[in-house]
Amino acid sequence: DTGVSQDPRHKITKRGQNVTFRCDPISEHNRLYWYRQTLGQGPEFLTYFQNEAQLEKSRLLSDRFSAERPKGSFSTLEIQRTEQGDSAMYLCASSLYRSYNSPLHFGNGTRLTVT
């Protein structure tokens, strides 16, 4: 399967702990996006990269969240000092952007539960 892969699929952590998620995009895709989805809601934009550059970060995103894409390939999303409100599905997506938009391809997500 050459789609977007995310690891881990599930993560349970205690409040106050740090967690890190990984996303491997489709290999030829230059853009990588992170979204958060809670039950019954649409995916909420968090941040995105073009190659290794982080081009935009949601204003709603707490300083406890940080994302990297150091070599323009895989990306990590870290949440520091987790809170119960961080419990959600974290979705990664990638696309091949040229001069126009192309579809986003999503991974299966990482489900975070903060106890």
Partner 1 sequence: GENVEQHPSTLSVQEGDSAVIKCTYSDSASNYFPWYKQELGKRPQLIIDIRSNVGEKKDQRIAVTLNKTAKHFSLHITETQPEDSAVYFCAASMNQGGKLIFGQGTELSVKP
Our CB check for partner 1 shows the closer of 46 and 79 to be 46
- 42 touches partner 1 by CB under 8 A: yes
Q: Which amino acid is at 80?
A: Q
- 28 touches partner 1 by CB under 8 A: no
Other beta carbons within 10 angstroms of residue 50's beta carbon come to 15
Judge contact between 102 and 94, C-beta under 8 A. no
Determine which residue in the list 44, 76, 80, 87 makes contact with partner 1, applying CB under 8 A.
Answer: 44
- 25 touches partner 1 by CB under 8 A: no
- 54 touches partner 1 by CB under 8 A: no
Give CA–CA dist 109/38, Å, rounded.
12
According to CB under 8 A, which residues from 55 to 94 bind partner 1? 55-56, 91
Question: Looking at 16-24, 35-43, 67-75, 80-88, which segment touches partner 1 (CB under 8 A)?
Answer: 35-43
Count the residues in the chain.
115
